[in-house]
Amino acid sequence: MTSSTTTPLAGQPERPPKPQGEVFRRYDQTLNMWISFRTLEIGPGLKHDLALYHRWQNIPRVAAFWDEAHDITVHQAHLEQLAADPHCLQLIGCFNDEPFGFFDVYWALEDRLGPYYEVDPYDRGLHMLVGEAHHRGPHKVACWLPALMDYLWADEPSTRRLVSEPRADNAKMIGYLQQFGFEHVRDFDFPHKRAALMMCHRR
């Protein structure tokens, strides 16, 4: 679904319409697999991505960090709200076209993270969820995380920083982010969690 551009707030650049379909693809020689990202499909008659998201969010290990284990009707309403929001973009990650995870990327200025640090109008944030157990592990992260970062750098040349705010006790995710260029800036308190501010600068 393509979103129309909204009138920018003070200090907010005009955001482009959301893309539709596949936005990134490349071949990983180490895994001998294709990694790709496509936009999440949600709407009348489009139930596959909703079913994936619902199943993934109700996996105990995912629910422990995302706290989004809800009924499918709640998930549908949430995804429809995100789809209508021009400040964020929902992606499905695929290995050889098999969906394995959900990725929510957002403009930090308009996100709840913005007030917690000196945000730049083009800072891009990311939330990451790997739902399929057989696509977990550091060897897969070494493929999809740099690929996602490369997509975000290429998508907007004015983006100088990528940010993320995993839960402060999510040592595994913090470690993965650090491995691929993110700095652990500090911990801080959201209303709903203690979070780690992670930041990566464009090189």
- List residues with catalytic annotation: 165
Q: Which two tokens stand for residue 54?
A: 């619902």
DSSP 8-state assignment for residue 40: -
80-87 — which CB contacts under 8 Å span 24+ positions? Answer: 80/42, 80/43, 83/1, 83/3, 83/40, 83/42, 83/43, 84/3, 85/3, 86/3, 86/4, 86/5, 86/6, 86/15, 86/17, 86/18, 87/15, 87/111
